[in-house]
Chains A and B, each alone.
Chain A
Amino acid sequence: MPRTTPRLPPMRNSLSTLSTRNTRNALAGLALVGLALTGCSAATDTTDDASATTEAATITLYTSEPQAKIDAVVAAFNVIEPGVTVDVFRAGTGDLTARIEAELTSGDVQADVLLAADAGTFEGYKADDLLRAYTPADVDALNPDVVDPDGFYTGTRIIPTVIAYNTTMIDTPPTSWQELTDSAYADLITMPNPDVSGAAAYNAAVWLNTPDLGDDWLSALAANNPVIAESNGPVSQAVATGTQPIGIVVDYLVRELKAAGSPIDVSYPAEGVPYVSQPVGIFASTSEQDASEAFVDFLVSAQGQELAVEQSYLPVRNDVGTPEGAPAMDDIAILSPDLQVISDSRADAVARFTELFS
């Protein structure tokens, strides 16, 4: 099925900074025709030469990475692949989901690559046949937990949810999830809302499916009356300012605040941390397979992962170290539950959470 190619709108030249998409769509349409004529021969010669430059192309990336970070990633990618232009659309995971759903209502997804959120989101798209199978070049070097066995998506960072604490107000930080249920922490805790944050919904499902924690632990935590903030951002801010000195939040935000001078630090709970892997996947409707695959390869390559570490993320490979102030990967206990169980129990987990914390 050919991709929709919207007409050129009038007057767009005066605003060329805002959009180059339409011409590109037209080009993409032409490229698709060309591809159809030559058959699929183009797809076979991609893996043997990782260092060779891909032909000039433009791909559209939908991502929830912070703008500054994704800009740095694209810049580093362009050093290796100067011919590939990456147009970035950045928004929160929920907004991305909404945009993709809306695009599907009237045609194909208008992106080539998606880099966002958690495996659950990608499992959904995989089930709907929206993704194209692709296993990155260097897959053996990666943490097997983050690679989809069916090869439709690959994790690019380990983003664990940990305990953050305000160093001016808390002398001995809690070192386990269990400890947070101690009445000493009543009214001091804040955490993101699974109703609003997809990652928080995933965490709730993981906690409820972890035998050591489960419903008893979540009920006990609720008894401590935590403040349910909107998302990870406000949580880390509340902890840094001391509004709520203990927070349940993703680790890289805490490291960055600490580096900027906030009185905040992170504690990795002993029972293990739930994590999301910010997977990357290629949409089946793409007409720029080579360029998209080159971008995916770069994200999980040693170079791409070194950049991730520089950007305060835990990497998905073992040969690039960890960010300053983070433990070595082997020293972090990680909860890697069965994804199927998690996606099946997610709605119930959110409902249980809502019931407990109201």
Chain B
Amino acid sequence: MPPAAPPGPGPVRRDRVRPTVPATTSGTAASAGPQPQRRPRWAAPWDGIDGLRAVLWLVCGAVILLPLSAIVVLAITNNHLPLLLSGDVVEAARNSVVSAATSAVGAVLVGTILALLLDRSDLRGRRTLRLLALTPLLVPPFVGAIAWIGIAGPTGPVNRAWTEWFGGPLWIIYGGDGVVFLLIVHSYPIAYIIMSAALRRVPSDLEQAARISGASLLRSVTGITLPLLRPAAFSAFTLIAVSNLADFGIPSIIGLPERFVTLSTLVYRYIQSGTVESPLEVVATIGVVLLGVAVLSMVIDLLVNRTRVELDQSSAPPQPIRLGRARAATSIVAWTLVLAITLLPLLALTSQALLPAPGVPLAWENLTLDNIVRATTAPGTIVGATNSVMLSVLAGLICTVLGLAVGTIVTRTRARSNAALATVALLPQAIPGLVIAVGWLIIAPRIGLFNTPWLILCAYVMAFVAVVVQAVAAPLRSTPMSMEEAARISGASRLRALIDISWRMAVPAAVAGGVLVALTAVRELTISVLLLSPGSQTLGVSIFSLQQAGAYNAAAALSLLVTLVGLAGLGLVDRRRH
């Protein structure tokens, strides 16, 4: 028997619809929802919060708006609108939006189901499965895409076997559906991390209350848990949709063979094929279009997500969802699917890493460690690994702090500029790495960062800070302001309440986001490749260079090592959490 529910307020929804769960508190219900700190009328015109907000705008201005404006200026110096209205660009824009939106829906669905199963249920072996499920995060998308072609390409083993048995291929990965599938595979871990953080905030008291009142397990999940996860789901959706807009590796390798062109592959077409005058301006123009799409999606996010759900701290330990008779079956299905999605490409990668050259039959006597030796001893690799680790850790730290500050200030205080600040932080997610890099290259000589690693660091922070902002904002949106109010009543300043209460509550989410940033940055390719100083390397660039040089097996070996080291790191983080 769980302890009695605390006397505090239950979930309170702040919308025009009748609340599904009646509010238990007094008259505050009508205006409830996390009531962000409002400046009292009698307060001085400027206080610490305003100062903090000004600092954040300054930092975001320097790290995000400055390079963005370089891109915008480049785009509007000459009129490239006629090109934008050409069939190619319109079709690519449609493909981009459709693939980004559908893959984000898919990723959020998969991430939510995984969060429920791995964090809340009594599924067998869920800790190991959780680690496995996170592996796609560690494999660079362009490596994952090539591994998947080896599995589900037109003459891959799956389709060859299927053709033998049934006379036709099962599913050829090339084309729009393959792009959506792989985008889901590479982005569901982000959704899982955000949803899992949000799930930890859903009070189990409510689920238990529902069960006690006679609701079935399914009904308590669909009626209580899922609705309470909605704000986090929207945050995850926006983040993933916007960042999938900018993905290049997957659409270029999987989409182009079937002529599935997206805006980010179009960017490379214009730069590489030399078929347009002043390609950089054209590319900047496409970047601006993507920015427009990102702003639009943020506006939609704000409009749809106006409904706030407020959750109390739960006093009861979360009760696992008992799968009962379905436990064995669910475990088998979950394990099979996760293994298929994660282990197949890892196996493809491993076999590539251990074979001397592509096409050599997989047999014991052919296996070699040469690639691993070659990959790890190449002079560039050591430099690349050192640089990548340093840059990604720094980027993770800076993004954690900046994202924490931005994420709390836009959810825990009230100001007209909050929506603008949140949008600015998210914008860079939508534009391809190449465009971000071009923006920084243009301003680099003027700010004295040309050919320094700090340029890459700045670009990483710009590109990834949104991950932390969204990770922080999602759980905070559903946390009541009562603690901050208590602090204020006890005499704390608005800034003090923000730092002592809001920040502390959001630290776990911010750290999770920061880890995510570091893991993404450590294998980043498209930004680093343009911004590196001569003689330098990063891991992503090392892998890509090996691949371009035809040393696929050494490239596979290096990706495998990055994945394994990342997994070990994740395992350690996970272990300390338990």
A88 touches B535 (CB 8 A): yes
Does A332 sit within 8 A of B, measured CB to CB? no
Interchain nearest-CB distance for B439 vs A (Å): 9
Does B276 sit within 8 A of A, measured CB to CB? yes
Beyond A18-B387, A257-B550, whether A106 also contacts B454 by CB under 8 A is no
Does A101 sit within 8 A of B, measured CB to CB? yes
Tell me the residues in window 9-48 of chain A with beta carbons closer than 8 Å to chain B beta carbons: 9, 11-12, 15, 17-22
Instruction: Report A-chain residues with C-beta under 8 Å of the C-beta of B383.
Output: 17
Assembly CA distance A94 to B31 (angstroms): 56
Nearest to A97 among chain B residues (CB) is B271
Tell me the residues in window 506-552 of chain B with beta carbons closer than 8 Å to chain A beta carbons: 529-530, 532-537, 545-552
B530 touches A257 (CB 8 A): no
Instruction: Report B-chain residues with C-beta under 8 Å of the C-beta of A350.
Output: 273, 275
Count of inter-chain pairs, beta carbons less than 8 A: 225
Instruction: Report B-chain residues with C-beta under 8 Å of the C-beta of A253.
Output: 550
Interchain nearest-CB distance for A89 vs B (Å): 4
A87 touches B448 (CB 8 A): no
Beyond A66-B550, A88-B535, A346-B275, whether A240 also contacts B530 by CB under 8 A is no
**Per-residue A-contact encoding for B359-388, CB less than 8 Å = 1, 0 else:** 110000000000000000011100100110
Does B502 sit within 8 A of A, measured CB to CB? no
Nearest to A105 among chain B residues (CB) is B442
A68 touches B378 (CB 8 A): yes
Instruction: Report A-chain residues with C-beta under 8 Å of the C-beta of B547.
Output: 233
Assembly CA distance A146 to B559 (angstroms): 38
Interchain nearest-CB distance for A257 vs B (Å): 6
Nearest to A358 among chain B residues (CB) is B259
B548 touches A264 (CB 8 A): no
Binds A, one of B22-30, B182-190, B249-257, B560-568: B249-257
Can you show 17 pairs from A to B with CB atoms below 8 A apart? A12-B452, A15-B390, A17-B386, A18-B453, A21-B534, A67-B549, A71-B379, A94-B268, A94-B272, A101-B280, A110-B450, A195-B272, A201-B274, A227-B257, A241-B359, A243-B150, A257-B359
B252 touches A102 (CB 8 A): no
Instruction: Report B-chain residues with C-beta under 8 Å of the C-beta of A197.
Output: 272-273
Assembly CA distance A89 to B549 (angstroms): 15
Pick the most buried of A60, A193, A350: most chain B CB atoms within 10 A of its CB: A193
A230 touches B452 (CB 8 A): no
Nearest to B549 among chain A residues (CB) is A66
Interchain nearest-CB distance for A18 vs B (Å): 4
Instruction: Report B-chain residues with C-beta under 8 Å of the C-beta of A179.
Output: none
Assembly CA distance A128 to B481 (angstroms): 62
Nearest to A87 among chain B residues (CB) is B534
Tell me the residues in window 448-495 of chain B with beta carbons closer than 8 Å to chain A beta carbons: 448-454
A6 touches B358 (CB 8 A): no
Does B179 sit within 8 A of A, measured CB to CB? no
Does A183 sit within 8 A of B, measured CB to CB? no
**Per-residue A-contact encoding for B248-291, CB less than 8 Å = 1, 0 else:** 00001100110101000100110111111011100100000000
Beyond A196-B273, A243-B153, A243-B155, whether A91 also contacts B257 by CB under 8 A is no
Interchain nearest-CB distance for A130 vs B (Å): 14
Does A220 sit within 8 A of B, measured CB to CB? no
Instruction: Report A-chain residues with C-beta under 8 Å of the C-beta of B450.
Output: 6, 21-22, 110
B146 touches A198 (CB 8 A): no
Interchain nearest-CB distance for B3 vs A (Å): 54
Beyond A67-B549, A240-B357, A257-B358, whether A4 also contacts B146 by CB under 8 A is no
Does A273 sit within 8 A of B, measured CB to CB? no
**Per-residue B-contact encoding for A193-211, CB less than 8 Å = 1, 0 else:** 1111110010000000000
A22 touches B451 (CB 8 A): yes
Pick the most buried of B386, B453, B534: most chain A CB atoms within 10 A of its CB: B534
Instruction: Report B-chain residues with C-beta under 8 Å of the C-beta of A53.
Output: none
- Chain A residues close to B by CB (< 8 Å): 4, 6-9, 11-12, 15, 17-22, 60-61, 66-69, 71, 87-95, 97-99, 101-103, 105-107, 110, 120-121, 124, 166, 168, 187, 193-198, 201, 227-231, 233-234, 236-238, 240-244, 253, 256-257, 260-264, 346-347, 350-351, 354, 357-358
Instruction: Report B-chain residues with C-beta under 8 Å of the C-beta of A20.
Output: 535
For chain B, the bracket of interface size reads 35 or more
Instruction: Report A-chain residues with C-beta under 8 Å of the C-beta of B441.
Output: 99, 102-103, 105-106
Does B434 sit within 8 A of A, measured CB to CB? yes
Interchain nearest-CB distance for A25 vs B (Å): 8
Could you say which of B256, B259, B273, B358 contacts A201, with CB atoms under 8 Å apart?
B273
Instruction: Report A-chain residues with C-beta under 8 Å of the C-beta of B117.
Output: none
Assembly CA distance A331 to B479 (angstroms): 77
B449 touches A228 (CB 8 A): no
Assembly CA distance A94 to B462 (angstroms): 23
Could you say which of B252, B360, B446 contacts A262, with CB atoms under 8 Å apart?
B360
B380 touches A67 (CB 8 A): yes
Does B149 sit within 8 A of A, measured CB to CB? yes
Instruction: Report A-chain residues with C-beta under 8 Å of the C-beta of B279.
Output: 97-98, 101
Interchain nearest-CB distance for A121 vs B (Å): 7
Beyond A22-B451, A67-B545, A98-B434, whether A262 also contacts B359 by CB under 8 A is yes
A9 touches B536 (CB 8 A): no
Assembly CA distance A158 to B113 (angstroms): 55
B534 touches A260 (CB 8 A): no
Interchain nearest-CB distance for A127 vs B (Å): 12
Interchain nearest-CB distance for A232 vs B (Å): 8
- Chain B residues close to A by CB (< 8 Å): 74, 146, 149-150, 153-156, 174, 252-253, 256-257, 259, 261, 265, 268-269, 271-276, 278-280, 283, 356-360, 378-380, 383, 386-387, 390, 434, 437-438, 441-446, 448-454, 529-530, 532-537, 545-553
Instruction: Report A-chain residues with C-beta under 8 Å of the C-beta of B549.
Output: 66-69
A98 touches B280 (CB 8 A): yes
B272 touches A19 (CB 8 A): no
Nearest to B253 among chain A residues (CB) is A230
Nearest to B548 among chain A residues (CB) is A233
B358 touches A240 (CB 8 A): yes
Could you say which of B150, B261, B434, B453 contacts A241, with CB atoms under 8 Å apart?
B150
Interface pairs A-B: 7 shortest CB-CB: A66-B549, A94-B272, A87-B534, A260-B357, A21-B451, A102-B441, A7-B448
Assembly CA distance A29 to B521 (angstroms): 35
A228 touches B257 (CB 8 A): yes
Instruction: Report A-chain residues with C-beta under 8 Å of the C-beta of B274.
Output: 97, 120-121, 124, 198, 201, 346
Assembly CA distance A229 to B259 (angstroms): 10
Interchain nearest-CB distance for B163 vs A (Å): 12
B146 touches A234 (CB 8 A): yes
A102 touches B442 (CB 8 A): yes
Instruction: Report A-chain residues with C-beta under 8 Å of the C-beta of B268.
Output: 94, 196
Assembly CA distance A92 to B544 (angstroms): 10
Nearest to B387 among chain A residues (CB) is A18
Assembly CA distance A67 to B537 (angstroms): 10
Instruction: Report A-chain residues with C-beta under 8 Å of the C-beta of B174.
Output: 227
Instruction: Report B-chain residues with C-beta under 8 Å of the C-beta of A196.
Output: 252, 256, 265, 268-269, 272-273
Instruction: Report A-chain residues with C-beta under 8 Å of the C-beta of B278.
Output: 101
A166 touches B448 (CB 8 A): no
A262 touches B451 (CB 8 A): no
B156 touches A106 (CB 8 A): no
Interchain nearest-CB distance for A85 vs B (Å): 9
Nearest to B88 among chain A residues (CB) is A354
Instruction: Report B-chain residues with C-beta under 8 Å of the C-beta of A90.
Output: 545
Apart from the given pairs A201-B273, A228-B257, 14 other A-B contacts in the complex at a CB distance below 8 Å = A6-B444, A20-B535, A66-B545, A88-B534, A89-B533, A91-B530, A99-B441, A102-B442, A229-B256, A236-B550, A240-B358, A241-B150, A263-B359, A346-B274
A99 touches B530 (CB 8 A): yes
Assembly CA distance A105 to B71 (angstroms): 11
B550 touches A194 (CB 8 A): no
Assembly CA distance A92 to B279 (angstroms): 16
Assembly CA distance A253 to B547 (angstroms): 11
Instruction: Report A-chain residues with C-beta under 8 Å of the C-beta of B156.
Output: 243
Interchain nearest-CB distance for A77 vs B (Å): 15
Assembly CA distance A121 to B360 (angstroms): 37
Nearest to B544 among chain A residues (CB) is A92
